[in-house]
Amino acid sequence: MSAPKISLRGVTKAFGAKPVLRGIDLDVAAGESVVVIGGSGTGKSVMLKCILGLIRPDGGSIRIDGEETVGLGDGERTQVMRKFGMLFQGGALFDSLRVWQNVAFGPIQSDGMAPAKAKDLAMAKLANVGLGPEIGELFPSELSGGMQKRVALARAIAREPEIIFFDEPTTGLDPIMADVINELIVKCVHELGATAVSITHDMASARKIGHRIAMLYDGRLIWQGPVAEIDHCGNAHVEQFINGRAEGPIQMQVRKL
């Protein structure tokens, strides 16, 4: 068996005296889609940002294609980053740039593609997520939340990444738009043959886009398994979460991480 695409071992991170990740072990195989679920403030985003290299973990190992990425220098980090695409929770579109310039940003700025060619590429990617060329000339602030998410998805896939990360892809969207985004995510990941890691607390989304689900609680992954097994996992924490019950072993986090 080949090395997993992404492999986390004993990843820890604390902010001040507060431990957020207490030792995360996770393997994601090439072409697999893993969804990490967990309540707000359990450190899902922190875990994702550790893998991305936006936050440096305190301890443990994060390997991408077998290569250790914790403690990489700027140059090597850029090389690894080339494999990644990321859909941010709020879209994180550059509001000073037009929609097509957002999508073409990576190809132009990082890969040195000629603007005219990159514009064609951007329009093609926008078409991929169901947006016409007229949208490309608008500014992100002129778009609705769902449209912004689509543009952000187009930007995330523009450089045909090997690994795509989704941070709460459906948060803040109505159920129909959420499903549209889920479908697009499944389609895009499938077309690219990419590996995907998503974090969400939306169970409908998790079931739709994930092959495997892992639950983060109290800084550890307390359960992981195929989507089909989650309803019969026998874990009280997971069952409380997926059924959305206030009563159970999970206590609400008061302070933000």
Q: What is the DSSP secondary-structure string of 175-240?
A: HHHHHHHHHHHHHHHHHHT-EEEEEES-HHHHHHH-SEEEEEETTEEEEEEEGGGGGG---HHHHH
99 closest CA partner among 134, 127, 128, 136 = 136
> Measured from the CB atom, is 76 or 229 closer to other proteins?
76
47 closest CA partner among 90, 4, 8, 89 = 8
Q: Provide the minimum distance between the beta carbon of 250 and other proteins in the complex, in angstroms, as a whole number.
A: 26
Residues 148-177 vs other proteins: string with x where CB under 8 A?
-------x---x------------------
Q: Provide the minimum distance between the beta carbon of 95 and other proteins in the complex, in angstroms, as a whole number.
A: 8
Question: Is residue 53 close enough to count as binding other proteins by CB under 8 A?
Answer: yes
> Measured from the CB atom, is 232 or 255 closer to other proteins?
255
Question: Is residue 100 close enough to count as binding other proteins by CB under 8 A?
Answer: no
Q: Provide the minimum distance between the beta carbon of 6 and other proteins in the complex, in angstroms, as a whole number.
A: 15
14 strand-pairing partners: 19
> Measured from the CB atom, is 82 or 207 closer to other proteins?
82
Question: Is residue 89 close enough to count as binding other proteins by CB under 8 A?
Answer: yes
Question: Do residues 152 and 93 make contact, with C-beta atoms less than 8 angstroms apart?
Answer: yes
Question: Is residue 78 close enough to count as binding other proteins by CB under 8 A?
Answer: yes
> Considering only residues 100, 105, 166, 223, which one is a binding residue for other proteins as defined by CB under 8 A?
105
DSSP state of 103: H
